[in-house]
Chains A and B, each alone.
Chain A
Amino acid sequence: MLPQNDSRRLRTRPPRGRLGAALAALAVLLSACGGSADAGGGAAGEPQSGGTLAIGIESDTDVLDPHRAGGWVTYRVNRQMYEALVDEDLTKSSEEAPIPEIVPGLAESWDISPDGLTYTFHLRDGVTFHDGTEFNADAVVFNVRRMTDPGFEYYDARSAGQTVFVWQHLASVTATDPMTVQMTLTQPFSPFLRLLTQGGGGSTGIISPTALQQYGNDEIADHPTGTGPFRFVDRVRGQRITLERNDDYWGEKPYLDQVVFRPLPDPSTRVSALRAGEVDMISVPSPDSVASLEEAGFTVDYSNAPHLWYLSFNMTDPIFSDVRVRQAVNYAINREGMAEDLLRGTVNPAYSVLPPANSAYQENQETYAYDPERARQLLAEAGYADGFSTTLMTSVDGSGQIVPVPMAEYIQQDLAKVGIDVQLDTTEWISYLSKWAEGLPPGTGMGQMSWGMTTPYWINIVTNSSLQAPNGSNVGHYSNPELDALMQQAATATDEATADELWRQAAQMIDQDAALAPIVNDKAPYVLSGDVQGFVNPSEEWWDLKTVWLS
């Protein structure tokens, strides 16, 4: 849902259903055993090095500066060049690993003090940046200070603004020896490690301090210098970004000689370029193209990324401040119908605010299975037996928004069946985003957005009473002191199991109180040509290209 790049405009869904699920499973199976999806292609055999992979992406990226850049599209490029202290294991598909596991990155290991206040990172030896600079504790401290310390010469307000949720509780960062970094927090913060691995809005990838000193805070984006498996070659705005294999990479080296990211914002152009062989894989295919692409031997790969399409209720509205009304709306929406009929099985119905790619996710939590009778009953109890009128606001288009207007119309029809008369208020994406960030205006009962993270901390971002719009993303002005306290406990828990259990309770509380109405969960489709082997579409909005090879 990050606005900078239109990162996921016109996200489109190929038909799934049982057939699609089977195809997705087949695709995973095929890529797992290194076979080619192309029936005539034969066995692809052992991975081989070499070649240039061209990827058609849905918009141009913004800045190739990991701390500053927002938007998933940009992070997909940045993360091939930059690494953070800890990482997520993206070598497993959503089927194999519903939540990507936290694995060592530039830190080989770490200790967390029992009180949860001190994190000691033991750094990986023998890592060098692409410019030859040695990676060490000083480099880490330099980077963290760029994002957090206004007194630092290389402090950058934009980087600080993007990464504020990661570092909000940081008290100090020190290099205790050349290969050890100690961070202390002002309070225990259980989502800290997971947030270090994230990249949608700013990321914590480590930049070469030498390069930062040489180029400065602005120019570094044109000279990306990280430690990652790929290094920067060149960028021609609007045309291409070229990366090449980093032969000095500390880990398993990539198979590909080069990767070229090619911005192709128009969905039909993207599909044409794939068909003509000008690119080897594309994101977000146009909806009507998927079936014929599969027929033509292309592979369509899905994942279960944390990406929820949901409604916020306006708690300052006299009607929606009644929990029975909010529950009635939740019961009245036929999510299965929307997923199958309207979106042709390209999304999953969502019944909880926690997306599946989440450590605290609970399966089979159909709190509000479709039940219009129950909805009418609740409305009658709340004193709206004859229904009422309200407004639902959504965008016309936008990154990750799927097809917002038809979906809102679907909801409009479902709600009409229980007597709720819904007016739609639709706005173009960027204007919508500003409007949404200001909070739901009086008279607007519901507002829609698409978002999510692999950390349950996300529910805090959208429901905590201290983060009410315009000072945060709680746009419905939801305020529940009991929930706030529970989430505070979860965020400050010092062991993972306790934290997950508390987050689970918090999510249940949100679901029961119907603070939000989760509607559907997106699956991120990529279309690959028969030559692309080893691509993994994990439970994230981004991926690694280390494992990819061309047959």
Chain B
Amino acid sequence: MAGYLLRRLGGMVLVLLGVSLLVFLIMQLVPGDPARTLLGPTATAEAIAAVRQDLGLNQPLVNQYLDYLGGLLRGDLNNSLVMAQPVTEIVFPKLGNTIILAAGALVICLVVGVPLGVLAATRQYSLFDRGAMFLSLAGASVPVYWAALVAISIFALQLGWLPTSGMYDVRNPGGFGDLLLHLVLPAATAAVVPTAVIARLTRSVMVEALQQDHIRMLRANGVSERQIVWRHALRNALPPIVNIVGLQVGYLLGGVIFIEVVFSWPGLGGQLYTSITANDMPIIQAGVLFIAVVFVVVNLVADIVVALLDPRTREAVR
């Protein structure tokens, strides 16, 4: 297990290094000069040159990248070009907000998706099964933007139960309760697609698990159906479910960008969008890197959980 972990961690570092290099190179291809973006259309050539000098944009590319890597090792991610503030001060709060939204959505996915799939599997081809699978097919195909607008229109405007957007009431910012109230709609909307995916996958692995010999054995021994489904079959079906949940976290982190826009959720997605349009390299680098870190870590955790759940995987990776 320790060797496995070490190898995985080593691989992670390589992946992150690759991500940072890729983002750096892609940003060089984007047209536009950050200095000109900063100074606006009336800027003179001298003013632009002075600001480029100030920002270190005149350095050769290799130096710029190595500087960046060196800073990364020291935990210094430079300053935002546009905001002239340390990148960490801008990106961390935004990343936190995105994680709150993604975590909220993940809770909904798990609480709804897994039981739905299990129940559908135990009632294969029943009306419930067909209904649930039709709904999840529809859910997986819904354009998120549209779902968000419909949700706002019904729950915020017609019924007036929930706020339309934002993270806190701007006039009287409240505490945790205020946050939860603002979280419901965006998290539920973000959860629609992954819930559907998880429900469908859970159903199919459960159907398979329920046909295994040892389940038939348990049934023959008179173990209650409830125990069979939730304890024995589900346990066997869990590893692929955990893996798909890990992947869905990645989907959520990328997918919440749209949700963030529609609900004005102050997350990393919206920040990245603004920073890309402003050519703000340090923010883009850090933002993409953090998303990659979260994604890689979550999948590592998922793999470890699978290894703990299923001794066979542990054998396989040794």
Contacts from A to B (Cβ < 8 Å)? 1-4, 6, 52, 54, 59-60, 62-63, 68, 70-71, 157-158, 160-162, 164-165, 200-202, 217-219, 221-222, 236-240, 242, 258, 260, 262-266, 268-269, 272-273, 275-276, 278-279, 429-431, 433-435, 437, 451, 461, 470-473
Residue among B42, B93, B262 making CB contact with A237, cutoff 8 Å: B93
Which residues of chain A are near B157, meaning CB under 8 Å?
A: 272, 275-276
16 extra A-B contacts, CB within 8 A, seeds A239-B166, A276-B160, A472-B44: A3-B278, A4-B40, A6-B274, A6-B277, A62-B83, A161-B50, A236-B266, A237-B90, A238-B271, A239-B168, A239-B170, A265-B261, A278-B163, A278-B164, A430-B277, A431-B31
Q: Verify A54–B41 contact, CB threshold 8 A.
A: no
Q: Verify B170–A240 contact, CB threshold 8 A.
A: yes
Name the distance in Å between B129's Cβ and chain A's nearest Cβ.
37
Query: Bound complex: CA of A59 vs CA of B85, how far in Å?
Result: 19
Q: Verify A238–B32 contact, CB threshold 8 A.
A: no
Name the distance in Å between B225's Cβ and chain A's nearest Cβ.
47
Which of B43, B97, B156 has the most A CB atoms < 10 Å from its CB? B43
Which residues of chain B are near A263, meaning CB under 8 Å?
A: 264
* B279 contacts the other chain (CB 8 A): yes
> What are some 24 contacts across the A-B interface (CB < 8 A)?
A3-B277, A6-B277, A63-B83, A158-B51, A158-B84, A161-B48, A162-B43, A201-B39, A221-B84, A237-B266, A239-B167, A240-B170, A260-B171, A262-B264, A264-B264, A272-B153, A272-B164, A272-B165, A273-B166, A278-B164, A278-B169, A430-B277, A430-B279, A471-B45
A-contacting residues, B158-203, CB 8 Å: 160, 163-171, 173
Q: Verify B94–A437 contact, CB threshold 8 A.
A: no
Q: Verify B42–A265 contact, CB threshold 8 A.
A: no
* B287 contacts the other chain (CB 8 A): no
Name the distance in Å between A458's Cβ and chain B's nearest Cβ.
10
Query: Bound complex: CA of A200 vs CA of B156, how far in Å?
Result: 36
Q: Verify B266–A239 contact, CB threshold 8 A.
A: yes
Name the prevailing secondary structure of the A interface residues: mixed
* B38 contacts the other chain (CB 8 A): yes
Q: Verify A70–B38 contact, CB threshold 8 A.
A: yes
Query: Bound complex: CA of A43 vs CA of B306, how far in Å?
Result: 68
Q: Verify B31–A434 contact, CB threshold 8 A.
A: yes
Q: Verify A218–B85 contact, CB threshold 8 A.
A: yes
Which residues of chain A are near B264, meaning CB under 8 Å?
A: 238, 262-266, 269, 273
Which residues of chain B are near A6, meaning CB under 8 Å?
A: 274, 277
Q: Verify A157–B166 contact, CB threshold 8 A.
A: no
**Interface flags, B125-169, vs A, CB<8A=1, else 0:** 000000000000000000000000100110011001001111111
Which of B48, B84, B160, B271 has the most A CB atoms < 10 Å from its CB? B84
Which residues of chain B are near A236, meaning CB under 8 Å?
A: 93, 266
Given A157-B47, A161-B51, also A437-B163 (CB < 8 A): no
Name the distance in Å between B163's Cβ and chain A's nearest Cβ.
6
Q: Verify B41–A2 contact, CB threshold 8 A.
A: yes
Q: Verify A162–B40 contact, CB threshold 8 A.
A: yes
Contacts from B to A (Cβ < 8 Å)? 30-33, 36-45, 47-48, 50-51, 53-54, 79, 82-85, 90, 93-94, 97, 149, 152-153, 156-157, 160, 163-171, 173, 261-264, 266-267, 270-271, 274, 277-279
Which residues of chain A are near B163, meaning CB under 8 Å?
A: 276, 278
Query: Bound complex: CA of A60 vs CA of B273, how far in Å?
Result: 12
Given A222-B85, A272-B164, A278-B166, also A157-B278 (CB < 8 A): no
Q: Verify A461–B42 contact, CB threshold 8 A.
A: yes
Query: Bound complex: CA of A451 vs CA of B94, how far in Å?
Result: 33
Which residues of chain A are near B274, meaning CB under 8 Å?
A: 6, 59-60
Given A59-B274, A157-B50, A472-B44, also A218-B170 (CB < 8 A): no
Q: Verify A54–B171 contact, CB threshold 8 A.
A: yes
Name the distance in Å between B168's Cβ and chain A's nearest Cβ.
7
Name the distance in Å between A474's Cβ and chain B's nearest Cβ.
11
Given A63-B82, A434-B31, also A3-B37 (CB < 8 A): yes
Q: Which residue of B lies closest to A470 (CB)?
A: B45
Name the distance in Å between A261's Cβ and chain B's nearest Cβ.
9
Q: Which residue of B lies closest to A71 (CB)?
A: B40
Query: Bound complex: CA of A60 vs CA of B94, how far in Å?
Result: 14
Name the distance in Å between B52's Cβ and chain A's nearest Cβ.
10
Query: Bound complex: CA of A255 vs CA of B180, how far in Å?
Result: 33
Name the distance in Å between A400's Cβ and chain B's nearest Cβ.
12
Query: Bound complex: CA of A260 vs CA of B172, how far in Å?
Result: 10
Q: Verify B164–A273 contact, CB threshold 8 A.
A: yes
Which residues of chain A are near B171, meaning CB under 8 Å?
A: 52, 54, 258, 260
Name the distance in Å between B57's Cβ and chain A's nearest Cβ.
12
Given A237-B90, A260-B171, A430-B277, also A70-B270 (CB < 8 A): no
Which residues of chain B are near A260, meaning CB under 8 Å?
A: 170-171
Name the distance in Å between B28's Cβ and chain A's nearest Cβ.
14
Which residues of chain A are near B271, meaning CB under 8 Å?
A: 237-238
Query: Bound complex: CA of A52 vs CA of B45, how far in Å?
Result: 44
Query: Bound complex: CA of A68 vs CA of B38, how far in Å?
Result: 9
Which residues of chain B are near A221, meaning CB under 8 Å?
A: 83-85
Q: Which residue of A lies closest to B172 (CB)?
A: A52
Q: Verify B170–A262 contact, CB threshold 8 A.
A: yes
Q: Verify B152–A272 contact, CB threshold 8 A.
A: yes
Query: Bound complex: CA of A444 vs CA of B31, how far in Å?
Result: 19
Q: Which 4 A-B pairs have the closest CB atoms?
A: A238-B266, A161-B47, A434-B32, A201-B40
Which residues of chain B are near A266, meaning CB under 8 Å?
A: 261-262, 264
Which residues of chain A are near B90, meaning CB under 8 Å?
A: 237
Query: Bound complex: CA of A62 vs CA of B82, how far in Å?
Result: 7
Query: Bound complex: CA of A307 vs CA of B271, how far in Å?
Result: 28
Which residues of chain B are near A268, meaning CB under 8 Å?
A: 149, 262
Given A70-B39, A237-B266, A269-B262, also A276-B156 (CB < 8 A): yes
Query: Bound complex: CA of A128 vs CA of B163, how far in Å?
Result: 40
Q: Verify B47–A160 contact, CB threshold 8 A.
A: yes
Residue among A269, A433, A471 making CB contact with B165, cutoff 8 Å: A269
Q: Which residue of A lies closest to B38 (CB)?
A: A158
Name the distance in Å between B264's Cβ and chain A's nearest Cβ.
5
Query: Bound complex: CA of A63 vs CA of B37, how far in Å?
Result: 14
Q: Which residue of A lies closest to B153 (CB)?
A: A272
Which residues of chain A are near B32, meaning CB under 8 Å?
A: 430-431, 433-434
Which residues of chain A are near B266, meaning CB under 8 Å?
A: 236-239
Query: Bound complex: CA of A334 vs CA of B287, how far in Å?
Result: 47
Which residues of chain B are near A1, meaning CB under 8 Å?
A: 41
Given A62-B83, A278-B165, also A265-B170 (CB < 8 A): no
Query: Bound complex: CA of A71 vs CA of B38, how far in Å?
Result: 10
Which residues of chain B are near A264, meaning CB under 8 Å?
A: 165, 264
Which residues of chain B are near A434, meaning CB under 8 Å?
A: 31-33, 36-37
